[in-house]
Structure 1
Amino acid sequence: MSRIILLPIDLSDRDNWKKPLAEALSMLGQGGMLHVVSVLPDYGMSQVGAYFRKDHEKEALTAFGKALSDWTAANIPDGVDVRPHVLHGTIYDEILRAADKLRADVIVMGAHRPALKDYLLGPNAARVVRHAPCSVYVVRD
């Protein structure tokens, strides 16, 4: 039984979150808390950001937050203590930062079937596994 579970999801990829969600819910004990996080990547280089409207990033974060709230309402059973979090930046960095800040007992995350260059895990899952401050349970899709 884990008291604090961090579940990173990709809202656009049902195959990425369906199995990890089921595993996280089965691991969640009575009185436990589920933190669902989704990361909106930043633009990276300033040259890229210059091609977007001034308020585009703020609008994107607002829309992303609504989508995550809607996802939570539609997919998390009643009675589960769940907290959705929109993160912004590099995916693996933001997941690691959230795990540390929230004092997660375990991170439950999906991993795509790897390409040959990734060999065992996708790049985000591999970095999270290597650097997480807690246990990481990787669920294959």
Structure 2
Amino acid sequence: MYKKIIVAIEIGALEDGALSFRKAATLLDEGGEIILLNVVEDIPTYVAVDLPVELVENAAKDARSRLEELILATGIPANIEISHGRPASGIIAAAESHNADLIILASHLPDFSNYFIGATADRVVRHAKCSVLVDRRRQAATKR
């Protein structure tokens, strides 16, 4: 199936990310690699002036800690990568730098401007050079 899978996880939606992580494990070739990716968004300078300096650093540490806990809880081996910047750009850059053949990400319920899939998922689908799986199982289950 796939040799290298990037699973993009938003820490604020860790339950959705856990479902995507489990899905990745079922799609992985023997000897393949899963990379759990969290992109910590940069804070605009005009906002950062009023926030503690260590806010972004603490967000990255928290993300790594939670992803390590997820790996322990599931028993699924994976590598962790934390990057900074815009989520869609970070996901695409990670997929390219790791030569991934699949990106999996959960999509939030979109607003009118992104009716079918969320803004980040939309950008990743449009610009990724590899296959993208947009995981919406959790949302479908909660609507029933």
Shorter-chain TM-score: which interval? 0.7 to 0.9
Paired position in structure 1 for 2:9: 9
Paired position in structure 2 for 1:122: 118
In structure 1, runs of 5+ residues without a counterpart are none
Identity %: 27
Paired position in structure 1 for 2:74: 75
The code of the aligned residue for 1:101 comes to S
| Secondary structure class of the residue paired with 1:69 | helix
Task: Note if contact 1:5-1:35 (Cα within 8 Å) is conserved in structure 2.
Answer: yes
Alignment RMSD (CA, Å) = 1.7
Aligned length: 137
The CA distance in 1 between the partners of 2:103 and 2:32, in whole Å, is 14
In structure 2, runs of 5+ residues without a counterpart are 139-144
**Which 10-residue stretch deviates more, 34-43 or 112-121?**
112-121
TM-score by structure 2 length?
A: 0.85
| Secondary structure class of the residue paired with 1:61 | helix
Paired position in structure 2 for 1:59: 58
Paired position in structure 2 for 1:32: 32
Paired position in structure 2 for 1:103: 99
| Secondary structure class of the residue paired with 1:112 | coil
The CA distance in 1 between the partners of 2:75 and 2:53, in whole Å, is 35
The CA distance in 2 between the partners of 1:101 and 1:8, in whole Å, is 14
The structure 1 segments of at least 4 consecutive aligned residues displaced by more than 3 Å after TM superposition are none
Task: Note if contact 1:68-1:86 (Cα within 8 Å) is conserved in structure 2.
Answer: no
| Secondary structure class of the residue paired with 1:13 | helix
Structure 2 CA distance for partners of 1:53 and 1:116, relative to 1, 3 Å: closer
**Which 10-residue stretch deviates more, 4-13 or 120-129?**
4-13
Structure number with the higher helix fraction is 2
Identify the match of residue 134 of structure 1 among 124, 130, 139. Answer: 130
Describe the superposition over 1:5-62 as per-residue Cα deviations: whole angstroms up to 9, x where unpaired: 000012221442243223211101110100010111110x211111123333333322
1:86 paired to 2:82? yes
TM-score by structure 1 length?
A: 0.87
The code of the aligned residue for 1:114 comes to P
| Secondary structure class of the residue paired with 2:23 | helix
The CA distance in 2 between the partners of 1:138 and 1:85, in whole Å, is 20
